[in-house]
Structure 1
Amino acid sequence: MKRILLMMLIIAVALLTACGKKTDHDKMAQSSNGTAEHGSHAGMNSSEEKGVPTSASWHFATEKPKPNTDTAITIQIKDKDGNAINKFDINHEKKLHLIVVSKDLSYFNHIHPEYKDDGTFEITTKFPNSGDYKLIADYIPTGGSATSQSKWVKVEGTVPALAEITPEESLVKTINDIEVTLTFDHLMADMDLNLTFNMVDAKTKEPITDLQPYLGAVGHVVILSADAEQYLHVHPTKEDAKGPNAQFMTKFPQSGVYKIWGQFQRNDETFIVPFVVKVP
């Protein structure tokens, strides 16, 4: 009798232990809810914040913006119940980063609306030509994590021919007398990778070692897929670097063509280095 009771007790303990364990599926489900790693954040119209889902309300001073004309834009960030979000973390010296790109990605602008309380940001900007533009608001609500919200806007007038978004064979550009070479340790979708901007003097080939902080870091990188649906905002792995290398780590979500904009500052002047790559 004692032996039977002992066997029943062992079986009960085993069952309780098994129920208390998380399955591999449970662990995967939890990890998939995390945010982007390595100083980059990704997504479009995403509300990945832990416990702070948000949305963005966009308002343009005119329903039909015109090219090369001041256009006032208001963005209000709200919670899931429609109430204004009032607190935001400072992310690289700003509460909100606004990325503006044309449909063919030939135009790029990284600007910073002014916070007006009650979850509202305001800015006045100009669109250079007629056509479609995508606006991406990038922010961190206090208590949450990095997220982005986007909006397409149509600028009135005759739309110029769209530029082709073609992968470049040579990833070397000269900007402001600086020769910039972009390299990858490997280039593959859905895999962490390092991208490195190496900078030398275009004439002397001497290494550039006097880069200045841009928004609190050696530089910033914005990446968009050719259809502007996949968005990555990447920060450097070593923020206080001064050159000749500025290294970033990110992950391309899927194969395809992407445009990369590296933003840096030297001699109190900000410069942008664009590249187009094909990710296998």
Structure 2
Amino acid sequence: MKKAERMVAALFILSLLAGCDKSDGQEAVSPTEAHHDSHIEHKSEEHGDAKRMQAVFSFTTGAAKAKEDAELAVHITDSEGNPVNDFELNHEKLLHLIVVSEDLSYFSHLHPSYQGNGIFRLPLRFPAGGKYKVFADFKPVGGNNTTVGEWLEVEGTTLKAEAIQVDLGRVKEVEDKEIALSPVKLKANEETALTFSFRDARTKEQITDLEPYLGATGHVVILSRDAGHYLHVHPLDEASTGPEARFVTSFPQPGIYKIWGQFQHRGKVITVPFVVQVE
């Protein structure tokens, strides 16, 4: 190879490596899409995509304080800082915002209002001071499903962190409903069908009249223990009304994960959490 050609190749490799650096504390990320019939999974992964979307999270009140009203602004831009103006409806919303506390004991799934010029806003009230991670999940027109996450600091008294303990039993009672999760054994990097089963906690009769929530039987959000891996999974059969709802996913690596399943029954949204060990 001629000397000039070697120099060009070296510069090209350096430019690729530079593109892999994170910026502005964002753990960001155009997610990969895995299609299984009607199922869509959004995975948050860090990579050096030069065309990736960016999000700036800021409090319009200057700082957020525990148990006080604050307004969060989410400004979506392209890699050059230009506002992204057009978004596709993604399960009835332009943007899904997931908020979790550092110990994953607090979870909220919200939908900010679009103000135009790439800016979304919504009011927030945090239960305590400390670190919270926010994930903006959206799809630009003509682009891919994209997720950007960032840690935010909230002022005020912090609470003692709750231990993240694996649920040995996979049955929870929420809002007079008995909800079971299977399978018990989970392995990393293998396609897994997570099945939620529903029955009345008192009568033990199967529940067969689940209602659509954001255009589907339900939604599942999965986070690794450190909130470094994010998965948003939609059901295989989006029109199912029970007694089961199935979601296909793949855990990126072994470890502890927290799963939140969200469903609607008789006009009320039910959120059921499970902590699992992935081998």
TM-score interval (norm. to shorter): 0.7 to 0.9
Q: How many Å separate the matches in 1 of 2:242 and 2:141?
A: 33
Asked if the contact 2:75–2:119 (Cα under 8 Å) also holds between the matched residues in 1, the reply is yes
The answer as to 2:33 corresponding to 1:40 is no
1:215-234 equivalences in 2 (<5 Å): 215-234=214-233
SS in 2 for 1:154: strand
Asked if the contact 1:45–1:149 (Cα under 8 Å) also holds between the matched residues in 2, the reply is no
SS in 1 for 2:33: coil
Show structure 1 runs of 4+ deviating over 3 A. Answer: 44-48
What do residues 82-124 of structure 1 show as CA deviations (whole Å, max 9, x unaligned)?
Answer: 1111111110000100000000000000000001111110111
Asked if the contact 1:185–1:193 (Cα under 8 Å) also holds between the matched residues in 2, the reply is no
Aligned position for 1:84:
83
Aligned position for 2:259:
260
Using the size of structure 2 for normalisation, the TM-score is 0.84
Aligned position for 2:58:
59
What do residues 161-189 of structure 1 show as CA deviations (whole Å, max 9, x unaligned)?
Answer: 10011111001001111100000285110
Q: How many Å separate the matches in 1 of 2:72 and 2:48?
A: 21
Cα deviation for residue 47 of structure 1 reads: 7.8
Cα deviation for residue 158 of structure 1 reads: 2.5
Q: Return 233-242 or 39-48, whichever deviates more.
A: 39-48
Asked if the contact 2:97–2:111 (Cα under 8 Å) also holds between the matched residues in 1, the reply is yes
Decide whether aligned partners of structure 1 residues 263 and 137 sit closer, same or farther in structure 2, where only a CA change above 3 A counts.
Answer: same
Amino acid in the other structure paired with 1:241? S
Decide whether aligned partners of structure 1 residues 47 and 266 sit closer, same or farther in structure 2, where only a CA change above 3 A counts.
Answer: farther
Aligned position for 1:275:
274
RMSD between superposed Cα atoms in Å: 1.7
Amino acid in the other structure paired with 1:114? S
The answer as to 2:205 corresponding to 1:172 is no
1:178-189 equivalences in 2 (<5 Å): 178-184=177-183, 187-189=186-188
Cα deviation for residue 53 of structure 1 reads: 2.1
Cα deviation for residue 153 of structure 1 reads: 1.1
Q: How many Å separate the matches in 1 of 2:198 and 2:267?
A: 17
Asked if the contact 2:215–2:238 (Cα under 8 Å) also holds between the matched residues in 1, the reply is yes
Cα deviation for residue 52 of structure 1 reads: 5.0
What do residues 14-40 of structure 1 show as CA deviations (whole Å, max 9, x unaligned)?
Answer: xxxxxxxxxxxxxxxxxxx99230311
- Kindly tell me the number of residue pairs found equivalent between the two proteins: 246
Amino acid in the other structure paired with 2:271? I
Decide whether aligned partners of structure 1 residues 256 and 111 sit closer, same or farther in structure 2, where only a CA change above 3 A counts.
Answer: same
1:90-129 equivalences in 2 (<5 Å): 90-129=89-128
Aligned position for 1:30:
none
Asked if the contact 1:47–1:55 (Cα under 8 Å) also holds between the matched residues in 2, the reply is no
Q: How many Å separate the matches in 2 of 1:46 and 1:128?
A: 33
Aligned position for 1:70:
69
Using the size of structure 1 for normalisation, the TM-score is 0.84
Decide whether aligned partners of structure 1 residues 93 and 274 sit closer, same or farther in structure 2, where only a CA change above 3 A counts.
Answer: same
